[in-house]
Structure 1
Amino acid sequence: MSTATRGRETGEARCLPLRFWVNVIKNPQFVFDIHKSSITDACLSVVAQTFMDSCSTSEHRLGKDSPSNKLLYAKDIPNYKSWVERYYRDISKMPSISDQDMDAYLVEQSRLHGNEFNTLSALNELYFYINKYKEEILTALDRDGYCRKHKLRHKLEQAINLMSGSS
């Protein structure tokens, strides 16, 4: 395997956890019921940037014009990078599991946690999303023949009205 291919695969392998954790670090309100002040937001931005730099496969050249948040943890980044490298190296050494084992595990998890799903909370989240993009969604429903045939725009408008409390 070439170095370019290995680097690309490593970068692809890091993409999902990096996107997930950076999002959680920058937006703790997605996971916890908290208010994030502007000062906290700035601090979390520095932590998220440090995390991204630690997971990056490229080298960063720092100079006198580099942002202060990059300079703050510059001496620690090589150590963090070695931790990340070891983490992915350890994962690559683990035995892979079969599709059957994965399916069985997911079915078992679904069974164990099936009653934990909060339907009302999910409906509320869907309502906020639909309300935010209401015009775009309604326009898309108008443009689609299948949606027009089944009067999905009208049904969605009824659902929006019910959720918003209007008649």
Structure 2
Amino acid sequence: MHHPSDETCLPLRFWVNVIKNPQFVFDIHKSSITDACLSVVAQTFMDSCSTSEHRLGKDSPSNKLLYAKDIPSYKSWVERYYSDISKMPAISDQDMNAYLAEQSRMHMNEFNTMSSLSEIYSYVGKYTEEIVCSLEQDDAARKQRLAFKLEQVVAFMSLES
């Protein structure tokens, strides 16, 4: 099922977080001035990816007013980006699995697998209900009984710990 905000999930949940918190990715100190500037960039990015219209007036926050005249052209870039993606041919599960296997092989020695699994498990533990709900709504996931399998893993892991 497609929601109007589906396409904004990646920008809002991932990129805005990286824009506002570069210290998560890079070994840097973020000053309060840098933080204020990045907040403006993040707000502009969010407004550009938003599907709703923003009514701005003299009482609007300054970080929204700063790039207000540029937002329509940024929005058209974002719309074109998603339009181009929707026109791309779908990738088969087989091709995707082959690609992921190749990436896994190439980067095998770069990651601590147990640490990665622990991080994934802590995320799954925090959002189990939402993930299970999404898996139950997806046809392909339902056919493979992924929600049930995930619940089994969570139950097993809680017994182990």
TM-score (norm 2): 0.69
Of 7, 11, 35, which aligns to 1:41?
Answer: 35
Q: Please state if 1:63 is matched with 2:80.
A: no
Task: Look up the equivalent residue of 2:46 and give its one-letter code.
Answer: M
Q: Secondary structure at the match of 2:89?
A: coil
Task: Look up the equivalent residue of 1:42 and give its one-letter code.
Answer: A
**Does structure 1 retain, via aligned residues, the 8 Å contact 2:16–2:45?**
yes
Of 55, 78, 100, which aligns to 1:84?
Answer: 78
Larger Rg: 1
**How do 1:45-124 and structure 2 match up within 5 A?**
45-118=39-112, 122=115
Q: CA deviation at 1:17?
A: 3.0
Q: CA deviation at 1:16?
A: 2.1
Q: Distance in 2 between matches of 1:101 and 1:148?
A: 34
Higher relative contact order (CA 8 A, sep 6+): 2
Instruction: Describe the shift of the 1:107–1:147 C-alpha distance in structure 2 as closer, same or farther (beyond 3 A).
Output: closer
Task: Look up the equivalent residue of 1:30 and give its one-letter code.
Answer: F
Aligned Cα RMSD in Å? 2.8
Q: CA deviation at 1:10?
A: 3.9
**Does structure 1 retain, via aligned residues, the 8 Å contact 2:5–2:51?**
yes
Q: Distance in 1 between matches of 2:58 and 2:88?
A: 42
Instruction: Describe the shift of the 1:115–1:62 C-alpha distance in structure 2 as closer, same or farther (beyond 3 A).
Output: same
TM-score (norm 1): 0.67
**How do 1:144-155 and structure 2 match up within 5 A?**
152=161
Note the residue ranges of structure 1 that are not aligned, 5 or more in a row: 130-145, 153-167
Of 14, 17, 27, which aligns to 1:23?
Answer: 17
Q: Please state if 1:14 is matched with 2:15.
A: no
Instruction: Describe the shift of the 1:148–1:28 C-alpha distance in structure 2 as closer, same or farther (beyond 3 A).
Output: closer
Q: CA deviation at 1:53?
A: 0.1
Instruction: Describe the shift of the 1:148–1:42 C-alpha distance in structure 2 as closer, same or farther (beyond 3 A).
Output: closer
**Does structure 1 retain, via aligned residues, the 8 Å contact 2:20–2:42?**
yes
How many equivalent residue pairs?
126
Identical pairs, percent: 78
